Structure 1
């Protein structure tokens, strides 16, 4: 938990004290040199880094594995959507409970439990797809269970980073870079495994990723989070307390409120409409390259966040988001393929930079004992509206045209940036 003088608690809490301003120089006496910044790559962060890298790599293989396995078994393409949709629905429903449970039983334990919950399902899918094809009901059930596991896992990510990293922004930036690279590598590796063997091999690697992640979290050594005498109540009371903590921070609920509009009208429709437009006009190979270019842009955005340390992180992140409407404008005007590549790169970099600024602001301004629940409300709100936007994008595009939906999204994205900069608590939130 942060204290008011902007220094951290003792190292027993897993945090490292913030540097103290050196005394003013005295004439004739050399000014003391500033101590070196504490190293980011401590043992706990190295284990966390490996866990996140392998997990994102494994998760990136799942859509390709489902598509290859189900369609290859003679099922329609809609079954792939149902399987992935059940994952998303389970995640959205249970993530708030995951935040409460992480506060109650510690984030590390819940993340280990989540990995172990998802491991058998991935192995079972790998075996059954390797032998032939599992029944659809089993695929749907295992996909939903995996979504529940992700919901138990995700809230703990936000509260763990400040406990293991002396520099939270730098840690988020490093993680964003490796996640972007693994997001590109996962689908590519899954495609190769499916071509050489079958979909079962991809699910097997996904299961191995959960095992490595659980092992890394087991090896981490974190001091207990002080409870400050907090008495835990029922699940409902804990959810209500989390909601009160959420509402008490105007900058936090202000961003989430604005972001729900963005998810519904911009981020949600952007993915399926981009896929359909580019595939129809330029082919699936071009779409695959576009996604790889977007991932490269995300990595560059993370690298920029390593170098730049704005005094007002949310304001700087909002300005960076202006790269997203550029991408939407190019897509909506049927620009040439090289321009589409430039737009995807710009959009990926912009979004990655915003995510680092946003994650760092939440992790450094929200008390540690409330962080899991705060992150759960953040994820639930964003994901639900994005899911609604994806669902409605097809019917709306059928009426007015996909290009018009993307162009409208570009205009709304500019309005979203304007709103983020106009709201004073968001614009003026300082770097902690």
Structure 2
């Protein structure tokens, strides 16, 4: 009788979560916050480039200003993960948005005044990076608390962010043309205000039992929490295995592809062609997100790795010197594959890792994923000078196949089976691998 009652209780809980699905008032608020913030973030490179160039600075200054943000984010996001597991993620995200509202409003005032000093812009970028490092880890823990269909939620957010990525540069270009770079910074500040308001109105359900244990410990345990997050990260072969492969991907594929595609396409076909190809890439990411809303593979990382093969079409088509329509088609295929992989990966992390350490593990995931990107970008120029940009892009295309094969050759990656949010929350932090658990750890 007790077993029957327990089973009935689990069925009622499961039906309640299923009814909650994806869309609710609170998920809609979070969805809006992410989409609006992404729209603003994609406007920022246009504003920085146009504004600094107008004030006599060169491309190196633009890169330095962007690097200030990236360095602060990559260097501090792991610490942000500890904070997110110790305190209210919602309050941390609101605080981060308010900080960036202030910094971007200050940047707008500097550009409107005409007194633009590079170190000030870099300092603002650094503070933005710190705020982003505090904000980002909480995203991973928020999605499964708002929607029982974690994959559907990630797919919806990916579609919205991809659409924002398509619209952002165009909106920024219009604002620069009809107003000034200061107007873009003001609009960017407004996106953080909207995001903060949506998060303020958000009502998060209580965390799972034990998920706030870190918050009850003293401040002296900060380093211990950091170490615990690292143990949780390295204790899952599928997790650190993907990040290890991803470091190679960033150095040999993504890092060189971004700058070399830009120089090759603009040099041979002009900036309009480059804009068209970027739009095709963005459209592909929307399609990939839509597919991820419908397709529910049992082994998510295996399906994602197979889809990621499509990214090879982007550098390979440019390196082969194909015409603009063919390169745009390659970019669309690449965007779809990358987007589908992104949803499969995010959902796997959010459902396989227990909630009490999820934010810290996600922070290590983000830091590891981004660590090698600057290396790949820095090596792109010397490699192009030695081999030719077209040959480097062709190598990147071939390496993309190798990376996907490497992912599929890792048993813990290809064999990882999907679980729902309830199953993930009840799992202990680290468990010895076993065949019946589909190599969860």
Q: Greater helix percent: which structure?
A: 2
- 1:201 corresponds to which residue? 183
- 2:291 corresponds to which residue? 304
1:93 to 64, 75, 89: 75
- 1:379 corresponds to which residue? 366
Q: Post-superposition shift, 1:107?
A: 1.5
* Cα pair 2:43 2:184 within 8 Å, conserved: yes
* Cα pair 1:70 1:133 within 8 Å, conserved: no
Q: Post-superposition shift, 1:333?
A: 0.7
- 1:27 corresponds to which residue? none
Matched, 1:332 2:319: yes
1:192 to 160, 174, 178: 174
CA RMSD of aligned residues (A): 1.9
Matched, 1:346 2:341: no
Query: Which ranges of structure 1 fall in alignment gaps of 5 or more residues?
Result: 1-6, 21-34
Cα distance change, pair 10–220 in 1 and its aligned pair in 2 (3 A): farther
2:108 to 110, 122, 126: 126
Cα distance in 2 for residues equivalent to 1:314 and 1:352: 13
1:79 to 61, 64, 67: 61
- Any residues of structure 2 matched to 1:109-258 within 5 Å, and which? 109-225=91-207, 226-227=209-210, 229=213, 232=217, 233-258=220-245
Q: Post-superposition shift, 1:36?
A: 7.2
Any idea what SS the aligned residue of 1:126 has?
helix
Cα distance in 2 for residues equivalent to 1:18 and 1:179: 29
- Any residues of structure 2 matched to 1:279-298 within 5 Å, and which? 279-298=266-285
- 1:58 corresponds to which residue? 40
- 2:423 corresponds to which residue? none
Q: Post-superposition shift, 1:215?
A: 1.1
Q: Post-superposition shift, 1:269?
A: 1.0
Deviations 1:76-126 (A, max 9, x none): 121100000111101101100110011111221111111111111100111
1:395 to 382, 388, 396: 382
Cα distance change, pair 271–342 in 1 and its aligned pair in 2 (3 A): same
Cα distance in 2 for residues equivalent to 1:418 and 1:175: 28
Q: Post-superposition shift, 1:133?
A: 3.5
- 1:405 corresponds to which residue? 392
Cα distance in 2 for residues equivalent to 1:355 and 1:264: 18
Cα distance in 1 for residues equivalent to 2:323 and 2:13: 52
* Cα pair 1:69 1:133 within 8 Å, conserved: no
Return the TM-score normalized by structure 1.
0.91
Q: Post-superposition shift, 1:235?
A: 2.5
* Cα pair 1:66 1:199 within 8 Å, conserved: yes
Any idea what SS the aligned residue of 1:65 has?
helix
1:104 to 75, 81, 86: 86
* Cα pair 2:18 2:149 within 8 Å, conserved: no
Cα distance in 2 for residues equivalent to 1:396 and 1:37: 53
Deviations 1:45-88 (A, max 9, x none): 01101100110001111100001100011111211000001111
Cα distance in 2 for residues equivalent to 1:278 and 1:80: 21
- 1:18 corresponds to which residue? 14
Cα distance in 2 for residues equivalent to 1:119 and 1:349: 32
Report how many aligned residue pairs link the two structures. 407
Greater Cα offset, 171-180 or 127-136: 127-136
Cα distance in 2 for residues equivalent to 1:73 and 1:141: 17
Cα distance in 2 for residues equivalent to 1:365 and 1:296: 30
Q: Post-superposition shift, 1:394?
A: 1.3
* Cα pair 2:22 2:150 within 8 Å, conserved: no
Cα distance in 2 for residues equivalent to 1:36 and 1:187: 38
Q: Post-superposition shift, 1:18?
A: 3.0
Cα distance in 2 for residues equivalent to 1:206 and 1:175: 19
Cα distance in 2 for residues equivalent to 1:391 and 1:218: 40
Cα distance in 2 for residues equivalent to 1:250 and 1:217: 34
- 1:31 corresponds to which residue? none
- 2:430 corresponds to which residue? none
Q: Post-superposition shift, 1:396?
A: 1.7
Cα distance change, pair 169–71 in 1 and its aligned pair in 2 (3 A): same
Cα distance in 2 for residues equivalent to 1:370 and 1:106: 14
- 2:433 corresponds to which residue? none
Q: Post-superposition shift, 1:19?
A: 4.4
Query: Which ranges of structure 2 fall in alignment gaps of 5 or more residues?
Result: 1-6, 420-441
Cα distance in 2 for residues equivalent to 1:427 and 1:374: 20
- 1:423 corresponds to which residue? 410
Q: Post-superposition shift, 1:327?
A: 1.9
Cα distance in 1 for residues equivalent to 2:168 and 2:233: 34
